[in-house]
Amino acid sequence: MRRLILATLLFSAGLANAVEAVSAAAPVEVPDTMAERVKPCVACHGLEDKVGRDAYYPRIAGKPKGYLFNQLRSFRDGLRYYQPMTLLLANMTDQYLLEMAAYFSGLKQPFPPPERMAASSAQIKLARQLINQGDPARQIPACIQCHGNELMGTAPFIPGLLGLPRIYMIAQFGAWRNGGLIRGQTADCMSEIAKQLTTEETNAVAAWLAAQPIPENSGPAGTLPVEMARRCGSIVQSATVQ
């Protein structure tokens, strides 16, 4: 009996050792911060050389909080179609997404250098025209009306347009045109504008925007002109930022 007990003890000790061997190293220390929690985001949206193989991912630091929250929520719910984001955000609460939006909104990050201008002088002229004046004949407002005089967005829901990859912007024009990034929220807003624009126009606008330097000490504009707030009402009103 004694031997049996001894054998059992030895055996248990052996097991314990084996388990210990597996977990001998001290647990990784994890800072209790938002920066740590959004590591999955910065794998693609980060500062460093982490733009993947296709340089597609947009910058999100410093964008208006309401805009970011809307995008996160829409990705999660499948209303803005991009499967990698939908998979990443499945089972997140609004509360947590809002916290992530607030984090990135407040994040100060140096902008990347502007892209080389990939547009002819005629295209540049066309882009400037659309961005600053729009085309009243087709009811296309100037970009600056909503996205701010400096094109750095308008708080809290309209994104800035500078510092983004050209091909990302071209892809977004395509998405707006084909039914809208945010289904059900786009009836009167960007999707109508995108549908009016020709491919040549969107290419010119994207090329011009991507080649612009970032104005110093700039950020999102404070308020949306009343007329535009009315036109894009669905985006401005339906989003509730608690």
Work out which of 81, 82, 88, 168 binds another protein, going by CB under 8 A.
88
Q: Which of residues 31-60 bind another protein (CB under 8 A)?
A: 36-37, 39-44, 50, 52-54
User: Which two structure tokens, joined as six digits, stand for 121?
Assistant: 């002088």
Binding mask 133-152 for another protein (x = CB under 8 A): --------------------
State yes or no: residue 27 binds another protein (CB under 8 A): yes
Three-point CA angle 80, 76, 102, nearest 5°: 95
The span from the CA of 191 to the CA of 98, in Å, is 25
Q: To the nearest whole angstrom, how small is the minimum distance from the Cβ of residue 11 to another protein?
A: 14
Phi, psi of 31 (to 5 degrees): -65, 140
Part in contact with another protein (CB under 8 A); list of ranges 14-22, 121-129, 132-140, 232-240: 14-22
Q: Which is nearer to another protein, 183 or 219 (CB)?
A: 183
- One-letter amino acid for residue 140 of the chain: I
* Relative orientation angle of helices 65-76 and 94-105, to the nearest 10 degrees: 140
Q: Which of residues 63-82 bind another protein (CB under 8 A)?
A: 77-79
What is the phi-psi region of residue 158: left when phi exceeds 0, alpha when psi lies from -120 to 50, beta otherwise? beta
The span from the CA of 92 to the CA of 3, in Å, is 55
Q: Which is nearer to another protein, 26 or 226 (CB)?
A: 26
Binding footprint of another protein on the chain (CB under 8 A): 18-19, 21-30, 36-37, 39-44, 50, 52-54, 77-79, 83-84, 87-93, 95-96, 99
